[in-house]
Amino acid sequence: MPIGQLFKAPKVLIGVVHLPSLPGSPGWGGDMGWVLDRAQEEASVLEQGGANGIIVENFGDVPFRIGSVEPETVAAMTLAVARVKQGADLPVGVNMLRNDAKSALAVAATTGADFIRVNVHYGVMAAEEGLVQGDAYETLRHRRSLGVEVKILADVLVKHAVPVGPQDLGQMAQETTYRGLADGLIVSGPVTGQPAEESDVAVVREAVPDGFLLVGSGVNESNAARLLASADGAIVGTSLKRDEIVSNLIDPERVKRLAEIIHELGS
């Protein structure tokens, strides 16, 4: 099944469940039951508000490391994604920060999740944490060995990072799709909550005209029409939160309003 059919809408809204700090991270509060209850509640708000999908991130585990996360993080993410998956009748995804595609696939395979987000799937980026290297070779073979149909959404020149040397956005989109075999692409702004450039979205769409393309940061009620003109939808976190503060809870009314706008664009 092509990834676009997974979400069952012409223009899709994928809401983010930003998990609080998990076991092992500096901010861990010691109560996994509370983390799971909050994840389930936020997923319910997204579903009831009209979202077409949900992605779960270990967002509270700052500072992040490059590559493989610790076993306790995988265990906690598995519990959280399973709780969300069991309670929501929507496609559910996993983003294992920062860039642990293998663990994300493991969580998805174990819980029955539908897709993962890989920040650097193909190529190399310089981030605050160090060099982030894509490993499409390993990721695709690991997915094959697990025998699952989990889709891979891959960022193109991901936020919170810069290319190592000059980089052509359109060419990277093509490489990520046709050589990295990503199922869909994501274009984002420079950091969490800041919008992508309309021109960047248009460049990627022109480079991969038949691909599934999402905007991965900064989409809100005022700019959705412009940013999604060339895209198939958006992954949205910050603008769905109360007062648009990423650490706040999701605001049900913000979800409903943005979902209506995006679905109207699709019609």
Contact 258, 220 (CB under 8 A): yes
- What's the confidence (pLDDT) of residue 244? 93
d(CA 130, CA 192): 18
Structure tokens belonging to residue 10: 């012409």
- Tell me the domains of the chain and their CATH numbers: 11-266 (3.20.20.70)
For residue 244, how many other CB atoms are within 10 A of its CB?
13
Q: Looking at the predicted structure, is the pLDDT value of residue 262 above 90?
A: yes
Q: Looking at the predicted structure, is the pLDDT value of residue 233 above 80?
A: yes
List, in sequence order, the alpha helices (H) in the chain: 3-7, 32-49, 71-87, 101-111, 136-146, 169-174, 198-207, 224-227, 252-266
Q: What is the pLDDT of residues 14-30, one digit of tens each?
A: 999 999 999 999 999 99
- What's the confidence (pLDDT) of residue 126? 81
DSSP state of 17: E
- What's the confidence (pLDDT) of residue 125? 82
**pLDDT > 90: percent of the chain:** 83
DSSP state of 90: S
* 159 band by pLDDT with thresholds 50, 70 and 90: low
The identity of residue 29, as a single letter, is: G
Q: Of residues 136 and 193, which shows the higher confidence score?
A: 136
Q: Report the chain's mean pLDDT, rounded to a whole number.
A: 94
Q: What angle do CA 59, 196, 12 make, to 5 degrees?
A: 75
Q: What is the pLDDT of residues 94-113, one digit of tens each?
A: 999 989 999 999 999 999 99
Q: What is the pLDDT of residues 41-69, one digit of tens each?
A: 999 999 999 999 999 999 999 999 888 99
